[in-house]
Amino acid sequence: MSTISTQNESTLQTQRPVQVAQRLEKFKTTIFTQMSILGNKHGAINLGQGFPNFDGPEFVKEAAIQAIKDGKNQYARAFGAPELNSAVASRFHRDTGLVIDPEREVTVTCGCTEAIAAAMLGLINPGDEVILFAPFYDSYEATLSMAGAKVKCITLRPPGFDIPLDELKAAVTSETRAILMNTPHNPTGKMFTREELEAIASLCIENDVIVFSDEVYDKLDFEMDHICIASLPGMYERTVTMNSLGKTFSLTGWKIGWAVAPPHLTWGIRQAHSYLTFATSTPMQAAAVAALEAPESYYTELKRDYSEKKEILVKGLKEVGFEVFPSSGTYFVVVDHTPFGFGDDVAFCEYLIKEVGVVAIPTSVFYLNPEDGKNLVRFAFCKDEETLRSAIERMKLKLKRVV
């Protein structure tokens, strides 16, 4: 009888409409999950989701193993293990020249995505206006929706994805609470120039606006040096700088991130963090200390390796027939797919997976107006060289330009 009852309950459950709060109704399963599932089904090479298919450095993994063996397995302090907070503060000083208090100005989170969520939920009130630069990491809009924010968008357009400064100046008003930015920029690979950052800073100071700056790709800067906006005059006091371990050390599954902010902003971030995750993995925090103490030679070698991977992918995509737009940072490249005759980016990416055997990400989901991104797709080069070359060969064999 119990088996029959369970089956009946299961049948009834599948007939019920899914339930979701209104603030999340417009958001579907993330495009990364959708494309990866489809890719797995068709045995496609995944150049879509931005995770490396190679492992992080041995010295960091060994530090995690040792921390587990040493019994560092219970809850960590809510806002971060003291050693990691200090390591983050030291790295921030090396990168920006700014001296910060690790106890009052660093909050360790479950990846940068939680840092973003804690910052939005802890510092943005319902109805607050927040400016985004499209295309944007899809978590931004969803988290702002959860916070009840009013989103205003500035669109960056190819080929250079430059900030339209006059449009930005017109958009920032006394009603603007914050600007949420990302440099180096996912998905385009653009790096914000000093002129652009200074323009943003000037507007923020003039209008008393705070900045949320996602800088997870700061060590993957190829064409120019990364500039942290918090380091500009008058900006530290109004900036939340968010970063993580995953991209730089090829350990995306560890989910170790942090937010750096002055005490008056850190308070709100920590309040939200306390009720989101409370604390972050203790042994992984211990290992993160070892990672952040890596010598500069590690970062030099990292950029050298990624520069070689980028060259392989960019050269190959051009040979396939794509228009490839410049990428100065991150491990992403955006291309125009329209020479192959598809009406939009989703149709192209589905064909690419099913018929060619390669996963890319349609960028229309990264815009408030999907039409703005329908001609563009994103490829990731955080893969070993054999994988990159195999994907290029598949595309050369099965993709044909029609324009």
Handedness of CA 93, 96, 101, 102 (dihedral sign): negative
Instruction: Output the pLDDT for position 32.
Output: 84
Residue 9 has pLDDT above 80, yes or no: no
What are the CA-CA distances from residue 273 to residues 35, 98, 109, 243, 363 (Å)? 30, 24, 7, 15, 30
* Average confidence (pLDDT) over 280-293: 98
Task: State the CATH number of the domain containing residue 240.
Answer: 3.40.640.10
- Residue 228 included in any domain: yes
Verify that 323 and 193 share a domain, yes or no. no
Q: With cut-offs at 50, 70 and 90, classify the pLDDT of residue 13.
A: low
Kindly report, residue by residue over 30-70, the tens digit of the pLDDT.
888 888 899 999 999 999 989 999 999 999 999 999 999 99
Domain membership of residue 9 (yes or no) is: no
Residue 221 lies in a domain: yes
Neighbours of 346 (CB within 10 A): 19
How many domains in the chain?
2
pLDDT of residue 391: 98
C-beta separation of 157 from 178 below 8 A: no
Is 264 part of a structural domain of the chain?
yes
**What is the extent of the structural domain holding 259?**
58-294
CATH number, domain with residue 352? 3.90.1150.10
The pLDDT value given to residue 10: 52
Pick the last residue of a domain from 294, 321, 338.
294
**What is the distance between the alpha carbons of residues 180 and 178, in angstroms, rounded to a whole number?**
7
User: Per mean pLDDT, which range of 7-21, 283-297, 304-318 is the poorest?
Assistant: 7-21
Residues 269 and 357 in one domain: no
Residue-level pLDDT at 110: 98
pLDDT digits (tens, 9 = 90+) for 113-138: 999 999 999 999 999 999 999 999 99
For residue 3, pLDDT beyond 80: no
- Whether the predicted pLDDT of 189 surpasses 50: yes
Whether residues 204 and 347 fall in one domain: no
Of 294, 320, 354, which marks where a domain is finished?
Answer: 294
The residue among 294, 319, 334 that closes a domain is 294
Does the N-terminal peptide bond of residue 184 adopt cis geometry, omega within 30 degrees of 0? yes
Q: Say how many CA atoms lie within 13 Å of 187 toward its Cβ.
A: 32
Same domain, 247 and 386: no
Question: Are both 207 and 172 inside the same structural domain?
Answer: yes
User: In this structure, are 237 and 358 located in the same domain?
Assistant: no
pLDDT given at position 48: 94
Is 190 within a domain? yes
**pLDDT tens for residues 365-398?**
999 999 999 999 999 999 999 999 999 999 999 9
User: What confidence tier does 15 reach under pLDDT thresholds 50, 70, 90?
Assistant: confident
Summarize pLDDT for 60-113 with one digit per residue, the tens: 999 999 999 999 999 999 999 999 999 999 999 999 999 999 999 999 999 999
Paired with 108 in beta bridges are 258
- Residue 98 belongs to some domain of the structure: yes
Same domain as 63, residue 39: no
Q: Are 290 and 303 found together in one domain?
A: no
187 pLDDT band, cuts 50/70/90, is: very high
Tokens representing 358?
Answer: 């390669």
pLDDT of 204 above 90: yes
Name the percent of the chain in helix, strand, coil, to the closest 5. 50, 15, 35
> Residue 8 domain-assigned?
no
Average pLDDT, the chain: 95
State whether 244 and 137 are in the same domain: yes
pLDDT in tens, 205-222: 999 999 999 999 999 999
Q: Would you put residue 271 in left (φ > 0), alpha (ψ -120 to 50) or beta?
A: alpha
Give CA angle at 315 (333, 192), nearest 5°: 35
- Does 180 share its domain with 282? yes
Asked, as a colleague might, if the bond just before 57 is cis with ω within 30 of 0, I would say no
Q: Does residue 309 share a domain with residue 195?
A: no
Examine the pLDDT at 5 and tell me if it is beyond 90. no
The answer on 374 and 229 residing in a single domain is no
Is the pLDDT assigned to residue 14 strictly greater than 80? no
Output the six-digit token pair for 42.
């068709």
Give the type of residue at 205: I
The pLDDT of residue 6 is: 43
Determine the pLDDT at residue 31. Answer: 83
